[in-house]
Amino acid sequence: MISSAANYMTGLANPTRFLSLVAVAIPWMAGITGVLFAVGLTMAFQAPEDYQQGITVRIMYVHVPSAWLAMMCYTVMAVSALGTLVWRHPLADVAAKAAAPLGAAFTFLALITGSLWGKPMWGTWWAWGDARLTSVFVLFLMYLGLIALYRAMDDPARSAKVCAILILVGYVNIPIIKFSVDWWNTLHQPASVFRLDGPTIHESMLYPLLVMAVAFTMLFFTLHLLAMRNEIWRRRVASMRRQAARAAA
């Protein structure tokens, strides 16, 4: 099984084969994403209001999946960075570069929707003393830094290694985000879904949240594949231009 998975990954190292797979997968993934959002939003707006928070608890159904995706996207980039540095997979750097703007967008959403939830519940839009807020803001800055670094270097071979190292160093922030609510006193409550003793959130709110989280995840992977395809095409165009310039010289 491991060898067949390895063979599959090796096969995907061929960008042309990868592009064929993307062409087949995208319509299905887009359709599934649409259905998941329709079901998730229906469940989210039929779920009961919280006895303390009232209607504002509905912000949870976009805020929490955004925050999870902000961290998952960085994890995808970290695995891609390993793929670049260790296995030298040709698509690993393409995957990391394509994921950065998506991760920035999900982190932006986590910050904005968190502020919009915080103001009516905590009485403040932002608190620098809150470790969760600050560490997620640092994640947002890291995404922006990586996007800038990718854009600043024309040669993908050079930028791939530099960015991969930076991504792996920056991964230290992910466990800090995850465990910040346990390690420090913050405005955020401790984890209520991913706990060793099981979720503490009621099923009537847990299931809509999980469906929305799967919808966000499918949206991420759909957009990621499309962004990877664009990046492969961008590199092909650059390669064709270099080829034409050499032929003209």
Partner 1 sequence: MSHFTFVAIAYGVTALTFLALVGWIVIDQRARRAEMADLEARGIRRRSAAGDQDHGK
Near partner 1 by CB under 8 A, which window of 84-92, 136-144, 171-179, 219-227?
A: 219-227
Stretch that binds partner 1, among 89-97, 155-163, 176-184, 224-232 (CB under 8 A): 224-232
* Per-residue three-class SS string for the chain: CHHHHHHHHHHHCCHHHHHHHHHHHHHHHHHHHHHHHHHHHHHHHHCCCECCCEHHHHHHHHHHHHHHHHHHHHHHHHHHHHHHHHHCCCCHHHHHHHHHHHHHHHHHHHHHHHHHHHHHHHCCCCCCCCHHHHHHHHHHHHHHHHHHHHHHCCCHHHHHHHHHHHHHHHCCHHHHHHHHHHHCCCCCCCCCCCCCCCCCCCHHHHHHHHHHHHHHHHHHHHHHHHHHHHHHHHHHHHHHHHHHHHHHC
| The binder of partner 1 chosen from 13, 39, 82, 101 (CB under 8 A) | 101
Minimum CB separation from partner 1 for residue 75, in Å? 19
Our finding on whether 148 is near partner 1 (CB under 8 A) is no
By CB under 8 A, tell whether 202 contacts partner 1: no
Q: Is 164 a residue that touches partner 1 (CB under 8 A)?
A: no
For partner 1, the closer of residues 63 and 132 by Cβ is: 63
Q: Taking contact as CB under 8 A, which single stretch among the options 68-76, 151-159, 171-179, 228-236 is the one that binds partner 1?
A: 228-236
Of 36, 47, 66, 132, the residue at the interface with partner 1 (CB under 8 A) is 66
Name which position in 27, 31, 54, 129 contacts partner 1 (CB under 8 A): 54
Q: Does 27 bind partner 1 (CB under 8 A)?
A: no
C-alpha torsion 105→111→117→118, nearest 10: 180
Give least dist CB 41 to partner 1, A.
9
Q: Which is nearer to partner 1, 104 or 131 (by Cβ)?
A: 104
Say if CB 118 and CB 126 are below 8 A apart.
Answer: yes
Out of 56, 149, 174, 192, the residue judged to bind partner 1 by CB under 8 A: 56
Report the 10 Å Cβ neighbour count for 14.
Answer: 12
Q: How far apart are CA 193 and CA 180, in angstroms?
A: 15
Among 84, 113, 159, 186, binds partner 1 (CB under 8 A): 113
CB of 55 to partner 1, least distance (A): 5
CB of residue 204 vs partner 1: minimum separation in angstroms? 18
Question: Bridge-partner residues for 54, per DSSP?
Answer: 50
The binding site for partner 1 (CB under 8 A) comprises 16, 54-56, 58-59, 62-63, 66, 101-102, 105, 108-109, 112-113, 116-117, 119-120, 219, 223, 226-227, 229-230, 233-234, 236-237, 239-241, 243-244
